[in-house]
Amino acid sequence: MFRELNSNAAPPAGLRIVCALAIVGLTLALIAAVVVSGPAAPGLQAAVAAALPHSGVENPVTAVLLNFRSYDTLLEIAVLFVVAVATLPLRRAVAPQRTEAVAVEPVLAALVKLLVPLVVLTGGYLLWVGAYAPGGAFQAGALLAGAGVLLSLAGGFSLAALPARPLLVVGLVVFTAVAAAVGAITGAFLQYPVAAAGVLILVIEAAATVSIAATLLLLYGNLAEPVPSGPLAGTKEPAS
């Protein structure tokens, strides 16, 4: 399962042919279904365009994500949180000690010094501009996580030094708190008051950006800086 492929590890030719034929048949059937079914039912663009003035933002995708279907986004932040919690035991609690001298290339270090502030700036811009043009929390969070990966690759800092837990939780907490608070005002969970919708969406997005970036960075850190094998962090190690 973990070995590089070699010729004798591949399944027998007969099985491969049967699989290939079955998949080709399935693909052709799906294509036929798409071709025969013709134009799909009218989409929701008219409904979105009609409700856009009440959403607090001007970008229809952001309006759908954080206002019309904000339940989806809330649960997606929850999914990210659950994934982060699931991999938290695999996290290295202290920075690995670099026993062998790591050669940090001067060109890479200089480039990172120049690039990372720019990437962080672009992330902030994307977060803000999401209300008016393509951009938003997901893009900004992914960009920030990319900056963190770059920084850790250049040997700038260890991802284990990141205060992960508060950063992971802030998105879900702020989103849920805002959802409940507006629910108390307007009577429906996640139903923003029209006048304050723009500000609330920006607050939620800012918190979500931090959590998305932290989650992605944590997931990368678990893979790049593994815990030593043996008992996981948090389990009691027998005194030896």
Partner 1 sequence: MPIDMTIDFTLGAGVLVLAWLSLSTTNLFKAIVLFISLGLLVTITWARLGAVDVAIAEAAIGAGLTGALLLAAWRRLRTVPGNTRRKAGDNHVS
Partner 2 sequence: MTQDLFYSICGIALFGIGLYGLLIPPHILQKILAVNVMGTGVFMVLIATAQSRAPAIDPVPHAMVLTGIVVAVAGTALALSLVCRIYALSDDTEQDAGR
- Give me the residue label for tokens 């850190």: 221
Do 124 and 107 form a contact (C-beta atoms < 8 A)? no
21 binds partner 2 (CB under 8 A): no
Sole binder of partner 2 in the list 1, 93, 94, 102 (CB under 8 A): 1
- Binding mask of the shown chain, residues 108 to 137, with x at each position contacting partner 1 by CB under 8 A: ------------------x-------xxx-
185 binds partner 2 (CB under 8 A): no
Judged by beta carbon distances under 5 to 8 A according to partner kind, the member of partner 1, partner 2, none in contact with residue 72 is partner 2
The H or E element spanning position 139 is helix 137-153
Do 140 and 96 form a contact (C-beta atoms < 8 A)? no
* Stretch in the footprint of partner 1 (CB under 8 A) among 40-48, 59-67, 108-116, 193-201: 59-67
Which residue, among 84, 93, 82, 89, has the nearest Cα to 231 in the 3D structure?
A: 89
- Alpha-carbon gap, residue 83 to 220, rounded angstroms: 12
- For residue 159, give the amino acid letter: L
Give, as ranges, the residues between 129 and 148 that touch partner 2 (CB under 8 A). Answer: 136, 138, 142
- Alpha-carbon gap, residue 67 to 192, rounded angstroms: 8
Interacting residues with partner 2 (CB under 8 A): 1-5, 9-11, 16, 19-20, 23-24, 26-27, 30-31, 34-35, 39-40, 42-46, 48-49, 60-61, 63-65, 69, 72-73, 76, 79-80, 83, 86-87, 90, 136, 138, 142, 212, 215-216, 219-220, 222-223, 226, 229
